[in-house]
């Protein structure tokens, strides 16, 4: 079945609701499992109770962060490095510590278990609440492991997130042990996914000289910082290049830039129709490349308060019709928050010691570059349905 494009767009804005969970005392293994689920639900609700006010408050502890990271790591370790996922589902790109925007995105596009989600990586750095972003997504993963899938991005590695905000956030709010626990978990995350045998998904881009998907599936765990042109390095760092026709070294220092011809060859080799990736800011939240054989998805609106970009969610229906939900950027800047947490005393400025906005990075970790959006694309992939819906932006 070929994928199809349905570009009806919407951007509803709703408030985050707060559910209450009462105490529970388990008496046997079944009850203990139920009690664990209730504790996870209570933690989820505490995170969702955060509001984008001047002094939003969350109640999470260092012990909870370490425990959730260890549990999530065990779940990831039992998953394949290359996931195979069936639609219907939604695909999301970078979130980069923008927790309140993540709340908006989930409210707009749906959340587990009612909506199956695939995130393409880059949960930490840049934004002010990387801990909350990772904790919420990990809690959802523990509660609904088959309904949310989290791929690894290039910022889910210590040599990058030690520089661009996550290390500072963890140490200023909790401890180095929290930072280490999260990175140990990141090292076990899956690296790519295939949706309904037709859509290949990863954070960065395709792999040069890859002739079997088993080369991805058989990557060992844990995977730490990739070397320049390893499979993992290319999957998490590479980018499409409209000016190139072949492969050229990436200015980021890891991976490649690839033109439309290598992309088409990769897709034909494995009988894919589409590459879905993230890794770069795009003005409308999504952008096509190479006659709609590649789409970039970015899900952090008003990135670092220095861009005016929208966020996007790509919905994939059972018949592989793909549509896009657009979340407009907020009108106000993201609040500079102070976060209270149990057992530590006082408050902590979560922005202290963090790197600033998306300044140019030295290798590795170059900042995404916004691209000019495409509003009219005349050519279509060979397998795409000839009749396409009109594009309407709410």
Just list the catalytic residues: 155
Q: Let me know the angle formed at the C-alpha of 357 by 354 and 362, rounded to the nearest 5 degrees.
A: 85
- Beta carbons of 272 and 200 less than 8 angstroms apart: yes
Helix extents (H) in 209-339 = 214-217, 231-237, 260-269
Q: Bridge-partner residues for 276, per DSSP?
A: 201, 295
Task: For residues 144 and 71, give the distance between their C-alpha atoms in angstroms, rounded to a whole number.
Answer: 13
Q: Let me know the angle formed at the C-alpha of 19 by 16 and 24, rounded to the nearest 5 degrees.
A: 155
**CB-CB neighbours of 15 under 10 Å:** 9
Across the chain, where does the E strand assignment appear? 4-6, 82-85, 89-92, 117-119, 148-150, 192-195, 199-201, 239-240, 247-249, 256-258, 274-277, 286-289, 294-297, 311-316, 321-327, 338-340, 347-349
Task: For residues 250 and 1, give the distance between their C-alpha atoms in angstroms, rounded to a whole number.
Answer: 34
> Among all chains, which residue has been given the structure tokens 């609106």?
301
> Among all chains, which residue has been given the structure tokens 């000289």?
209
Task: For residues 141 and 127, give the distance between their C-alpha atoms in angstroms, rounded to a whole number.
Answer: 22
Residue among 347, 287, 349, 275 at smallest CA distance from 312: 287
Residue among 234, 224, 157 at smallest CA distance from 200: 234
- Contacts for 25-34: CB closer than 8 Å, 24+ residues apart: none
* Rg of the chain over all Cα atoms, to the nearest angstrom: 20
- Beta carbons of 330 and 338 less than 8 angstroms apart: no
């Amino acid at each position: 079945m070929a994928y199809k494009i349905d570009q009806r767009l919407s951007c509803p804005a709703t408030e985050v609701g707060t559910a209450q969970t009462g105490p529970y005392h388990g008496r046997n293994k079944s009850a203990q499992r139920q009690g664990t689920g209730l504790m996870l639900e209570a933690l989820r609700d505490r995170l969702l109770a955060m509001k984008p006010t001047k002094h939003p408050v969350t109640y999470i502890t260092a012990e909870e962060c370490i425990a959730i990271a260890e549990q999530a790591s065990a779940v990831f370790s039992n998953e394949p490095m290359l996931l195979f996922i069936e639609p219907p589902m939604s695909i999301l790109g970078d979130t980069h510590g923008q927790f309140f925007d993540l709340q908006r995105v989930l409210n707009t596009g749906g959340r587990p278990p009612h909506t199956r989600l695939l995130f393409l990586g880059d949960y930490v750095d840049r934004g002010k609440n990387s801990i909350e972003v990772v904790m919420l997504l990990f809690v959802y993963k523990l509660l609904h492991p088959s309904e949310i899938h989290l791929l690894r991005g290039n910022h889910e590695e210590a040599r990058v997130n030690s520089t661009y905000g996550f290390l500072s956030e963890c140490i200023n709010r909790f401890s180095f042990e929290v930072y280490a626990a999260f990175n140990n978990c990141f090292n076990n995350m899956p690296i790519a996914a295939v949706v309904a045998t037709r859509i290949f998904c990863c954070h960065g881009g395709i792999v040069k000289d890859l002739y079997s998907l088993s080369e991805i599936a058989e990557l060992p765990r844990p995977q730490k910082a990739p070397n320049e042109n390893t499979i993992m390095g290319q999957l998490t760092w590479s980018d499409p290049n409209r000016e190139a026709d072949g492969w050229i070294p990436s200015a980021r220092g890891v991976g490649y830039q690839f033109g439309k011809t290598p992309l088409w060859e990769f897709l034909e080799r494995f009988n894919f129709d589409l590459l879905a990736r993230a890794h770069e800011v795009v003005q409308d939240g999504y952008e096509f490349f190479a006659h709609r054989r590649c789409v970039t998805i970015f899900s952090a609106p008003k990135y670092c308060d220095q861009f005016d970009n929208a966020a996007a969610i790509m919905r994939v229906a059972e018949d592989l019709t793909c549509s896009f939900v657009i979340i407009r950027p907020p009108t106000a800047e993201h609040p500079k928050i102070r976060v209270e947490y149990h057992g530590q005393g006082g408050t902590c400025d979560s922005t202290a010691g963090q790197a600033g906005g998306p300044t140019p990075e030295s290798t590795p970790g170059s900042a995404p570059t916004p691209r000019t959006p495409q509003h009219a694309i005349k050519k279509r992939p060979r397998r795409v349905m000839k009749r396409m819906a009109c594009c309407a932006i709410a």
